[in-house]
């Protein structure tokens, strides 16, 4: 069965722009979470969606937002990009019925210049 798919894989944006990243979870998984990975801060939780509802949110500014669609696909948006937003953004999905285990995608590498 197909894994978690994130698009695009790489992205270069300019400070002040906004960006939208996409995530298609494993078929049947209704929970989607987003994480930011940087060398300095490591892996940090952004938010989690379940059945189109945001259930948990990490400690990130309001410039970071997300949503989930009825088919469980999810998008995250970052507005007014800053240099410090350069990171690997990871999406993970889980069925959250049999297991808590999350399956991660390969991520989107965002570079802000």
Secondary structure letter of residue 16 according to DSSP: T
Report, in Å, the least distance between residue 46 CB and another protein: 9
Between β-strands 31-38 and 42-50, what pairing exists: parallel, antiparallel or unpaired? Answer: antiparallel
Interaction between residue 56 and another protein (CB under 8 A): yes
Distance CA 44, CA 38 (A): 9
Does residue 30 bind another protein (CB under 8 A)? no
To which H or E segment does residue 39 belong? none
User: Per CB under 8 A, which of residues 74..103 are in contact with another protein?
Assistant: 90, 92, 94, 96, 100-103
Q: What's the N-to-C CA distance of the chain in angstroms? A: 37
User: Minimum CB separation from another protein for residue 15, in Å?
Assistant: 26
Q: To which residue do tokens 């197909």 refer?
A: 2
Exactly one of 17, 20, 28, 55 binds another protein (CB under 8 A); that residue is 55
Which chain residues interact with another protein by CB under 8 A? 4, 33, 35, 42-45, 48, 55-56, 58-59, 90, 92, 94, 96, 100-107
């Amino acid at each position: 069965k197909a894994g978690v798919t994130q698009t695009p894989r790489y992205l270069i944006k300019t400070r002040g722009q906004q960006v939208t990243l996409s995530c298609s979870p494993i078929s049947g998984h209704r929970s989607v979470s987003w994480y930011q990975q940087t060398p300095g801060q490591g892996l940090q939780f952004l938010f989690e969606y379940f059945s189109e509802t945001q259930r948990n949110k990490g400690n990130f500014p309001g410039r970071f937002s997300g949503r989930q669609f009825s088919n469980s696909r999810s998008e995250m948006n970052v507005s007014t990009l800053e240099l410090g937003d350069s990171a690997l953004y990871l999406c993970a999905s889980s069925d959250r019925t049999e297991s808590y285990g999350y399956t991660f995608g390969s991520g989107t590498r965002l570079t802000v210049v």
